[in-house]
Amino acid sequence: MSPGPRTAASYRWLIVVGAGFVLMLMVRGFLVQSYFIPSGSMEPTLQPNDRLLVNKVGVESALRRGDLVVFDGTRAFANETDYVKRVVGLPGDHVVCCDAADLLTVDGTAVKEPYLYPGDRSSDSTFDVTVPAERIWVMGDHRSDSADSRAHLGDPGGGMVQLDDVIGRVAMIYWPPSRAGVPGAADSLENILATNAPERHK
């Protein structure tokens, strides 16, 4: 017995829905990925148990200071774990901490960081680095509780993350619903970009 018109239509509908679901999973894996925040190293911007959508498209060519990025820490931090941190220095940047006002400076410009965890300094440890080509300098917003580029200055690569280890940029927090939204911009870092020649960051 052949299926009736209603049954045939139901089969077609199931095939379309199934194909759409498979396509969504493929797109999700290639273009967008979900991540879970397990620690407080990025507080208050990102909090433990936040779930993020990370944009994996065109990351290397479009990174800006202040971006929140997810990266593979295998080479930079000698730890086979994905991390999320804030981009503070791009290739060619001179990043120093701290100046007389206890502020981080990038290429000689003092950076006010309203996203820092309340009560934290720009850094409890001092550093003076120039970011090599094809690498970035990253820091957590909870500076007193973040093992970031500063903690790996003595490692091969000096704590700098290679651009091709960057998985993507944080696009939004989607869970819990009470925190859903796009993390605030880091204007004080982003605006430094306009003072530098673009070719330095290629």
Active site residues: 41, 85
List the Cα angle 110/127/151 in 5-degree steps.
Answer: 120
Q: Which residues contact 5 (CB under 8 A, 6 or more apart)?
A: none
Half-sphere exposure of 68 (CA within 13 A, CB side): 25
Neighbour order of strands in the sheet with 109-111: 109-111, 104-106, 94-97, 127-130
Q: In angstroms, rounded to a whole number, what is the distance separating the alpha carbons of residues 84 and 80? A: 13
Is the Cβ–Cβ distance between 141 and 50 less than 8 Å?
A: no
